[in-house]
Amino acid sequence: MNRSLLICCCLLIAPVFSLAHHSSAMFDKEQVREETVTIREFQWTNPHVWIQITLENDPGQAEEWSIEGLGPNGLFRNGWRPNSFKPGDVVEIRFNPMRDGTSAGGFIGAKFPDGKTLGRWQ
């Protein structure tokens, strides 16, 4: 079962999403959303990687969301790999949602069932 937690926080988790290619202003960095999701697709591409996930925005309502990360080059140098997320993986993920309610967000961190993490996950 998906666990949905909307954390309204200014300081609990500092935003880490800083984009090289475009402004990150569309993401609400005052909010961090934490979800247990299923990976649909991982796009290891420039200028940003994208994690396509399925989450339950409302109970029983599965939705596809697009989570945007930094560029693959810098992520690779920080331990990410092209197969860091595999379709079907169930992971916990944190992201800054978009301000206008669009089903997308800016990646903060992820935690895998074996305890491994990517990004920022305190």
Residues binding another protein (CB under 8 A): 18, 20-23, 25-26, 41, 43, 45-48, 50, 52, 64, 66, 68, 71-74, 76-77, 98, 100-104
Least distance to another protein from the beta carbon of 1, Å?
Answer: 26
Residue 19 CB, nearest distance to another protein (Å)?
Answer: 8
Q: Pick the closer one to another protein by CB: 65 or 118.
A: 65
Please tell me whether residue 1 adopts helix, strand or coil conformation. Answer: coil
> What is the closest distance, in whole angstroms, from the C-beta atom of residue 114 to another protein in the complex?
27
The C-alpha atoms of residue 95 and residue 77 are separated, in whole angstroms, by: 21
E strands, 1-122, are 4-8, 31-43, 50-58, 61-68, 90-97, 104-111, 117-119
